[in-house]
Chain A
């Protein structure tokens, strides 16, 4: 099973600033990596797939990078609606599909 580890667990950033979230895989997942956003009481929403491709309707301020075992989600200028929990998910080697434990992005 591929273990996904996200850091930090909680990130405090001011609106308008840049946020950088990290995700590490226990073995290579190539670029088969997705990022999901989840707000309280809501289902997750797909942001990024293929490590760097934005899903339909996702604003350009969200960008993903990385390959192999190291990945980054960057939000270039935080909006109020971006404060949420973010999960990375690998789909290179499954079953099982595995998720990171999440990074909570909170307002500073």
Chain B
């Protein structure tokens, strides 16, 4: 089955750190760019970070730049998000999402999403 499964969410105090993981299965993970997108409770979608298939290109939203680090391990079919200096406003469900590719072309939108993992930053 083609799927993404996130893990690692939880309750963290402000200033703390956490690492999210996303396990991919059912497709050739190493050929796809991957992203993290988050959704604060009751709010809309916010793009967080992207990484190219071979990790050669990485991008971040300004809101997380310098605090979050995206990475991947293609041998383990896994995507990661290391989150440091966490703030209350980082509280959200974090989704990993696959870039959509069709007919040899890829588009920076997302056709496969995980179920999400909830991060709560609170004292």
Contacts and interface: CB of A to CB of B under 8 A. Distances in A.
Interface in B12-32: none
A31 to B, nearest CB: 10
B61 A95 contact: yes
A34 B44 contact: no
Interface residues of B, number: 22
A44 B115 contact: no
B60 A99 contact: no
A96 interface: yes
Contact of A87 (B44, B62, B100): B44
B82 interface: no
B22 to A, nearest CB: 12
Interface in B78-123: 95, 100, 102, 107-111, 113-116
Contacts of A43: 95, 113-116
A15 interface: no
18 contacts: A36-B110, A38-B45, A43-B113, A49-B100, A50-B107, A55-B100, A55-B111, A91-B109, A95-B59, A95-B60, A96-B59, A96-B61, A96-B62, A99-B44, A100-B44, A101-B44, A102-B44, A102-B45
Sorted nearest first, the 7 A-B pairs with minimum C-beta distance are A91-B108, A43-B113, A34-B109, A97-B47, A95-B59, A99-B45, A46-B111
